[in-house]
Amino acid sequence: MIDYIKLSSRLNNTQVADLKNRIDFNGSYNESTGELETILPNGKKVSTRSYGWIKNIKIELFPGGYIEVSGSLHKCFNDGKHNYNQFGRKEAEIALKRLIVVSGLELPYFKVDSVEVGVNLMPPIPSDDIINNALMYKRKPFEAKYCSDEGNYRQATLSEYWVKLYNKRLHYEKKGYDIGHEILRFELKINKMRMLAKYGVYTLEDLMNNIENIARDLLPKAWKEELLYDPTMNKQTKEKTLQYANINFWRGIVKERRYNYHHNKLYRLMEGNTCAIQAQVKDVMLDTLDCLVLGFTVYIKGENRLISHN
């Protein structure tokens, strides 16, 4: 449920010394004084941050004891290698306990600055067929993105959070992993904590106590608000809705009142003339989240096998 997370706090001198005894930090040092510093373009020398790592988790230590901890808890649980398996609260707690033991940091009391809340889904059709037909989210277009860590994905960018979709199977099979089934990743990257204030989330401890409710509340709602041009549409309906498959059509009317009219018209035309992929994926999402909360295995619909979330 949690993937990337960014935390912050402030350490006293004793805590900084203890952390440096546990983890190697790197930075730009003055060879004469041994102090961390950076030379600005104007020649001025300033104190700078130093960096340490625990697997894939980055720790940034600033002058004065301010500290930031960031990275994927999901990958950390898997020794920094991948995040394609299922990952619930139990696994997140295991990853955090390992980090606390290694770093000595009181992470539960750290402030949450950013968090990705998401779920790995096994969709009823190929993931790319869904991703390539995800057009808009709350009048924001899904745009093609790339990063070295997650490969190609689609993202709708809002002021307080981002909505992301990507083919996790494709990404990791390119890296040599044998996945064996479709994995559609759907997640919200929350960048402004005001969005989580109503859940009483300020610290990591707050987040861990509420993550299951947050995921089951936010993810299905966000999925429902996506504008998805159903790729299973029958030929007759597709001929009537060709303009709606074009992202440029929606971009062109995004600020106009008729946007809602055409949005509603598309969904009326699709009703009864598709396999209702958006509804099916929502059902898979709810089932998967329930399994993660209860600690059950996740069943792959249409296949006679179970995939443990561990």
Q: What's the whole-model pTM score?
A: 0.88
Task: Give CA torsion, residues 125, 77, 164, 298, to 10 deg.
Answer: 30
pLDDT digits (tens, 9 = 90+) for 213-251: 999 999 999 999 999 999 999 999 999 999 999 999 999
- How high is the pLDDT of residue 152? 75
Q: Are 117 and 1 in contact (CB under 8 A)?
A: yes
Whether residue 34 is predicted with pLDDT greater than 60 in this model: the reply is no
Whether residue 78 is predicted with pLDDT greater than 60 in this model: the reply is yes
| pLDDT > 70 in the chain, percent | 87
- How high is the pLDDT of residue 306? 36
- How high is the pLDDT of residue 39? 53
- How far does the chain reach from its first CA to its final CA, in angstroms? 13
- How high is the pLDDT of residue 48? 80
Q: Measuring CA to CA, which residue among 212, 213, 225 is closest to residue 282?
A: 225
Task: Give CA torsion, residues 122, 123, 128, 133, to 10 deg.
Answer: -150
pLDDT digits (tens, 9 = 90+) for 244-276: 999 999 999 999 999 999 999 999 999 999 999
Mean pLDDT, the chain, integer: 89
162 CB neighbour count, 10 Å cutoff: 18
| pLDDT > 90 in the chain, percent | 80
- How high is the pLDDT of residue 149? 64
Tell me whether strands 25-26 and 111-121 are parallel, antiparallel or unpaired: unpaired
pLDDT digits (tens, 9 = 90+) for 190-218: 999 999 999 999 999 999 999 999 999 99
